[in-house]
Structure 1
């Protein structure tokens, strides 16, 4: 159990460092990436910043490499995680209004301020009042959503 916790801590720390080094904790860089109108008319909308495509592509390539190196075991001929019995994959396949509304709110928030939860938490370590305000607002929103969903479900 301690091994799993330490590995999770190291993975999270490595992820945070990667977010900071890649620039994904800089809202201006993220908003420049989301500015796809800049592809068509940079004079009118400002330039599009494609650099985060390379960050995401690099992460995908490393994940594919790590998955290819994950060995199958005798009792599990399919690949499995190194420190768990199996991969925990979602079982729900339906798309409902709550999923669509949540995705829309996430996208709108990301586009408005240039933060999503992971980079915002990593930004807390590098300073900046805006990251702190965003994380506080995110936590309040999560608490309100949990209360509201609890009332709707009851």
Structure 2
């Protein structure tokens, strides 16, 4: 097994444990965080703030490197334009997160909890992704 795969697995495991510990896999906790007009519970702000700090540190380190430690080159996004697809996709993501209380990362992390709703969410997510991909190929 390549070292990069082992490191990726370790990082994914730490990320999943962070989602579990931060209660991001609990749809009720997420929905309570998003309920500004009701019984708002701001606890997830600390989880999100911690994620921003870690991402910021990673970006700062990356800026000073010629190449990654475990790969030949950085894989950075090439598209810089904010277009209609990005805005609509962001709105659909936010709407789904607000309605269900799950987003893809926490949903995958919570699979081992045995929640049937999570499995239904992930199946709907994959059907939607495949449907969009199929529609985009036909339209383009």
Say whether the fold is shared (TM-score over 0.5). Answer: yes
Larger Rg: 1
Identify unmatched segments of 5+ residues in structure 2: none
Distance 1:16 1:147, change over 3 A: same
Q: How many residues align?
A: 139
- Kindly indicate whether structure 1 or structure 2 has the higher relative contact order, using CA contacts under 8 Å at least 6 residues apart: 2
Aligned residue for 1:55?
Answer: 47
Q: Secondary structure at the match of 1:109?
A: helix
Aligned partner of residue 71 in structure 2, secondary structure? coil
* CA shift in 2, pair 1:67/1:143, >3 Å: closer
1:125 aligns with 2:117: no
CA displacement at 1:64 relative to structure 2: 4.2
Q: Shift of residue 63 of structure 1? A: 4.0
Encode CA deviations 1:33-85: one digit per residue, 9 max, x unaligned: 11122xxxxxxx2x1111111011122333445566x599xxxxx22432124
* Root-mean-square deviation (Å): 2.0
Normalization by structure 2: what TM-score?
0.88
Structure 1 CA distance for aligned equivalents of residues 25 and 15 of structure 2: 12
In structure 1, stretches of 5+ residues that fail to align are 38-44, 73-77
Q: 1: CA distance between counterparts of 2:9 and 2:100?
A: 27
CA distance in 1, matches of 2:57, 2:47: 15
